[in-house]
């Protein structure tokens, strides 16, 4: 047993030597401004669902997810067996097969042993034979060896039910099982299997909410610029990446030939930490992380939504953008023009505020004076974009039909969404503070908007500078008043609804727009819909940047929507509407009509829905 003790001590020492560097980097990283661990209730619920029950793993990728879940549950079940195994080697077993509980537990562990053996074999076959492209081209022989060790652990345990513990066979099995465990342990910190140790903590400690961008702290905080800017949550998440490729599989930029790979954002951050460590003055964008990749992100959130181990990619990416923009390292003509337009004109499109005034007067929109129930937030697209103006006009007709009083602000600037997502905090703060002051001055109590980007920015991002009145997206508004909207069962159109990222994944609102659209036609679903919906390509300020490299995201998504055979593409975001306007024309000689749900409802109210919708 002296030899076993030496092996155990050596294995533990090797594990600690490798894991110590990780712990040091996490401890040396700076605290994140505004981070709070309370309230604990939501964190506990998330932990139980995502870690204990493996709900996210299974739900988003059922078959391999269930296999991973069995491996996890098996490891949990084997914790007691493993402790008893080592105690048994030293002559002090505490779990006897002769006792009632011991017999029950040994057989329970055996069931998990079979499940783990089958699951790990299937996962190894998938990784090394099937080889889905999002797992990467490079084969990881370490992963293969670890899969073999896990399989060996299960087989050597199951064999004890047929081989007597006494004698040579029993001793060989004990040593085989022991060596597999002791070889496996020091490999953990050196491989992606580090997530076995860190990911439960990462899931529990991740920022609450979706894509929460941490506030900057003081005048010297510019975002993620160098190693000294890396925070503890970023460090913990970088080391927790399991390299499963779920983020890559769903990233619209990666799917259309861009260099951005969300997995490499986390791994690049890990590579930087391993080479330079937190606190280093070396720029983050360079050897391990590419600036071009950071600015190809549409901020759709598909990566963060899919991640099973708590990695929040978007705060990392936007943090890198902040570091590049706020320090003047990012040079882009289109980006510079958008920022100047926001500063000078209050909108990224570059139009004079007088153009908005003329449109309001032409349409006869009432000015909000405090007596109306709702302040209708027009947004940049509703104020200046031709298609956006059609949507806002249609929505006002529906509000009038419903008898809901509303008014628009005499002065309104961009919420700052493009500046926020592109990383220009100074411009964002200026716009947020102006609008907050304007809303307070006009005594606004309730708001509604046609743009989910505006809704997200006003309801969440502005909180750094003040509390805005509650705001509702127009799809949610229309769904609440659905019973008062006309419905036409004779309409034969098939409608496919495109889920906007900032309405779906960001806000969790999937049913309200469908409830509205389904009143005027038959709904069909695209292959990628709801939480798996693909971005239109406009988010993250990319609507205002130059031509995309590779295939356009909007064209890829338009092809998916057109392939459903629907005659109507229903939208609920003016940015999506703008992106699909040209994209649909390129994918079909007779493209489906593109209509916002407000336009569909307005057409039904005016009695020309059959002409508009039937095709």
> CB-based contacts of 510: which residues, under 8 Å, 6+ apart?
499, 504, 530, 531
Q: Residue 606 has what pLDDT?
A: 76
> CB-based contacts of 89: which residues, under 8 Å, 6+ apart?
1, 4, 174, 178
CA distance 293 to 261: 8
Q: Could you give phi then psi for residue 289, rounded to 5 degrees?
A: -135, 135
**26-74 confidence digits (pLDDT tens):** 999 999 988 889 899 999 999 999 999 999 989 888 898 999 999 999 9
614 or 425: which leads in pLDDT: 425
Q: Give this prediction's pTM.
A: 0.92
The token pair that represents 428 in the structure block: 């964002």
Q: Residue 70 has what pLDDT?
A: 93
Q: Residue 492 has what pLDDT?
A: 62
Average pLDDT across the chain, whole number:
90
CB 535 within 8 A of CB 557: yes
Least confident of 79-88, 290-299, 559-568: 79-88
> CB-based contacts of 256: which residues, under 8 Å, 6+ apart?
548, 550, 551, 552, 553, 556
For the chain, residues classed under CATH 1.10.1060.10 are 227-326
Handedness of CA 273, 274, 279, 284 (dihedral sign): negative
Q: Residue 171 has what pLDDT?
A: 82
- Residues 88-110 have a mean pLDDT of 83
- Residues 163-182 have a mean pLDDT of 82
- Residues 246-252 have a mean pLDDT of 93
> CB-based contacts of 302: which residues, under 8 Å, 6+ apart?
247, 250, 251, 252, 501, 505, 532, 534, 535
pLDDT at 487 over 80: no
pLDDT at 490 over 50: no
CA distance 553 to 537: 5
Distances (CA, A) of 434 to 62, 197, 243, 443: 47, 46, 43, 14
CA distance 414 to 454: 8
CA distance 317 to 422: 10
pLDDT at 25 over 50: yes
**288-334 confidence digits (pLDDT tens):** 999 999 999 999 999 999 999 999 999 999 999 999 999 999 999 99
Quickly list H helices, 126-261.
141-158, 167-187, 195-205, 232-240, 246-250, 252-255
CB 561 within 8 A of CB 499: no
Q: For residue 576, give the nearest of 422, 438, 387, 392 by alpha carbon.
A: 387
> CB-based contacts of 135: which residues, under 8 Å, 6+ apart?
127, 243, 244, 245
- Residues 562-570 have a mean pLDDT of 92
pLDDT at 96 over 50: yes
The token pair that represents 572 in the structure block: 């609920």
**408-417 confidence digits (pLDDT tens):** 999 999 999 9
pLDDT at 589 over 90: no
377 or 548: which leads in pLDDT: 377
Q: pLDDT band for position 271 (50/70/90)? A: very high
Q: Report the b/e string of 293-310 with b at 16+ CB within 10 A.
A: bbbbbbbbbbbbbbbbbb
**Is it true that domain 479-613 has CATH number 3.40.390?**
no
pLDDT at 355 over 60: yes
- Residues 128-133 have a mean pLDDT of 76
- Residues 554-572 have a mean pLDDT of 94
Domain with residues 2-205, CATH architecture: Up-down Bundle (1.20)
CB 265 within 8 A of CB 317: yes
CA distance 73 to 534: 32
DSSP secondary structure letters along 466-498: -PPPPEEEHHHHHHHTGGGS---TT---EEEE-
- What CATH code would you report for 348-473? 3.40.50
Say how many C-beta atoms besides its own lie within 10 A of residue 420's C-beta: 28
Distances (CA, A) of 267 to 358, 377, 441: 51, 40, 47
CA distance 600 to 610: 10
CB 596 within 8 A of CB 450: yes
Q: Residue 209 has what pLDDT?
A: 87
Say how many C-beta atoms besides its own lie within 10 A of residue 520's C-beta: 27
For the chain, residues classed under CATH 1.20.950 are 2-205
- Ramachandran quadrant class, 328 (left: phi over 0; alpha: psi -120 to 50; beta: rest): left
Structure-token match 């309409």, residue found: 491
Q: Residue 610 has what pLDDT?
A: 54
Q: pLDDT band for position 4 (50/70/90)? A: confident
CB 316 within 8 A of CB 301: no
For the chain, residues classed under CATH 3.40.50 are 348-473, 479-613
Q: pLDDT band for position 173 (50/70/90)? A: confident
Element spanning 412, H or E:
none
Q: pLDDT band for position 139 (50/70/90)? A: low
Share of the chain above pLDDT 70, in %: 96
Q: Report the b/e string of 256-290 with b at 16+ CB within 10 A.
A: bebebbbbbbbbbbbebbeebbbeeeebbbeebbb
Q: Residue 560 has what pLDDT?
A: 95
- Residues 374-386 have a mean pLDDT of 96
Q: Residue 31 has what pLDDT?
A: 92
pLDDT at 491 over 60: no
The SS3 call for residue 567 is coil
- Third-level CATH fold of 227-326: Fumarate Reductase Iron-sulfur Protein; Chain B, domain 2 (1.10.1060)
């Amino acid at each position: 047993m002296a030899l076993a003790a030496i092996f155990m001590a050596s294995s533990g020492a090797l594990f600690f030597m490798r894991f110590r560097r990780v712990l040091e980097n996490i401890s040396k990283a700076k605290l994140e401004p505004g981070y709070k661990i309370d309230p604990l209730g939501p964190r506990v619920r998330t932990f139980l669902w995502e870690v204990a029950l493996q709900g996210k793993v299974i739900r988003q990728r059922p078959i391999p997810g269930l296999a991973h879940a069995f491996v996890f549950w098996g490891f949990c079940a084997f914790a007691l067996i493993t402790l008893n195994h080592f105690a048994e080697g030293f002559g002090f077993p505490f779990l006897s097969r002769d006792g009632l509980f011991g017999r029950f537990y040994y057989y329970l562990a055996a069931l998990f042993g079979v499940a783990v053996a089958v699951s790990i074999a299937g996962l190894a076959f998938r990784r090394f034979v099937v080889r889905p492209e999002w797992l990467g081209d490079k084969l990881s022989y370490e992963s293969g060896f670890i899969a073999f060790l896990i399989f060996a652990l299960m087989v050597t345990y199951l064999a004890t039910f047929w081989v007597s513990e006494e004698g040579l066979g029993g001793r060989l099995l004990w040593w085989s099982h022991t060596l597999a465990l002791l070889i496996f342990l020091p490999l953990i910190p050196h491989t992606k299997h580090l997530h076995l140790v860190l990911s439960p903590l990462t899931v529990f400690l991740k920022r609450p909410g979706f894509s929460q961008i941490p506030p900057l702290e003081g005048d010297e905080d510019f975002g993620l610029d160098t190693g000294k800017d890396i925070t503890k949550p970023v460090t913990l998440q970088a080391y927790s990446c399991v390299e499963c490729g779920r983020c890559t599989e769903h990233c619209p930029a990666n799917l259309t030939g861009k260099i951005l790979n969300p997995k490499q954002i986390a791994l690049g951050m890990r590579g930087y930490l391993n080479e330079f460590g937190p606190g280093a003055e070396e720029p983050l964008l360079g050897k391990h992380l590419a600036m071009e990749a950071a600015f190809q992100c549409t901020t759709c959130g598909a990566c963060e939504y899919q991640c099973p181990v708590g990695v929040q990619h978007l705060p990392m990416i936007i943090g890198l953008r902040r570091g590049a923009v706020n320090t003047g390292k990012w040079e882009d003509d289109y980006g510079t023009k958008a920022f100047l337009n926001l500063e000078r004109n209050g909108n990224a499109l570059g139009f004079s505020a007088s153009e908005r005034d003329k449109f309001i007067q032409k349409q006869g929109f009432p000015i909000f004076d405090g007596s109306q129930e709702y302040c209708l937030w027009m947004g940049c697209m509703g104020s200046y974009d031709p298609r956006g103006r059609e949507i806002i006009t249609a929505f006002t007709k529906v509000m009038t039909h419903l008898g809901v009083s509303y008014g628009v602000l005499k002065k309104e600037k961009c919420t700052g969404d493009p500046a926020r997502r592109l990383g220009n905090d100074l411009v964002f703060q200026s716009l947020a503070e102006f609008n907050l002051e304007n809303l307070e001055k006009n005594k606004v109590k309730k708001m509604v908007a046609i743009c989910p980007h505006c809704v997200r920015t006003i309801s969440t991002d502005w909180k750094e500078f003040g509390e805005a009145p509650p705001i509702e997206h127009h799809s949610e508004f229309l769904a609440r008043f659905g019973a008062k909207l006309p419905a036409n069962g004779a309409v034969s159109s098939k409608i496919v609804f495109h889920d906007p990222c900032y309405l779906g994944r960001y806000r969790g609102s999937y049913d309200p727009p469908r409830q509205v659209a389904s009143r005027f036609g038959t709904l069909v679903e695209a292959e990628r819909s709801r939480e798996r919906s693909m971005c239109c390509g406009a988010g993250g300020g990319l609507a205002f940047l130059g031509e995309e490299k590779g295939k356009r995201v909007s064209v890829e998504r338009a092809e998916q929507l057109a392939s459903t055979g629907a005659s109507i593409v229903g939208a609920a975001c003016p940015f999506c509407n703008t992106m699909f306007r040209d994209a649909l024309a390129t994918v079909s000689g007779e493209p489906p009509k593109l209509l916002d749900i407000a336009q569909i409802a307005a057409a039904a109210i005016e009695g020309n829905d059959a002409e508009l919708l039937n095709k």
